């Protein structure tokens, strides 16, 4: 019987060491989950972004999802220049 108790104790010690690690830094343990992709993130500020959400809740996004969303944004200055050039090119074509 004493052999079984030692075996059970070693299992309980090993389960505490097997915590999942953050998907961004791979160092700390998971504290939150990304609301967009579902990856686990830690409380490190470099790993995730916290935003206020409806009903006083918090919307959590991991850094990789934040970068994907940020790349989809269009710079407003570039949009103004694009519209200006598009408008002037039409005028030049008509006048020629």
Q: How far apart are CA 90 and CA 40, in angstroms?
A: 51
Residue 49's nearest CA partner among 32, 72, 73 is 32
Q: What's residue 66's pLDDT?
A: 93
Per the CB < 8 A criterion, the answer to whether 35 and 63 are in contact is no
Whether the model clears a pTM of 0.85, i.e. scores above it, the answer is no
Tokens 């074509």 appear where?
Answer: 93
**H helices present in the chain, as ranges:** 2-17, 63-72, 76-95
Q: How far apart are CA 68 and CA 37, in angstroms?
A: 11
Q: pLDDT tens track of the chain, all 96 residues?
A: 455 554 444 444 445 556 788 989 988 899 999 999 999 999 898 999 999 999 999 999 999 999 999 988 877 888 888 888 888 886 666 655
Domain ranges for the chain: 2-95
């Amino acid at each position: 019987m004493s052999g079984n108790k030692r075996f059970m104790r070693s299992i309980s010690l090993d389960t505490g060491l097997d915590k999942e690690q953050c998907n961004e830094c791979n160092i700390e343990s998971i504290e939150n989950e990304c609301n967009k992709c579902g990856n686990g993130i830690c409380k490190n500020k470099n790993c995730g972004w916290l935003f206020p959400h409806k009903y006083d809740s918090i919307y959590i996004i991991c850094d990789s999802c934040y970068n994907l969303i940020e790349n989809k944004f269009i710079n407003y200055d570039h949009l103004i220049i694009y519209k200006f050039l598009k408008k002037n090119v039409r005028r030049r074509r008509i006048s020629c």
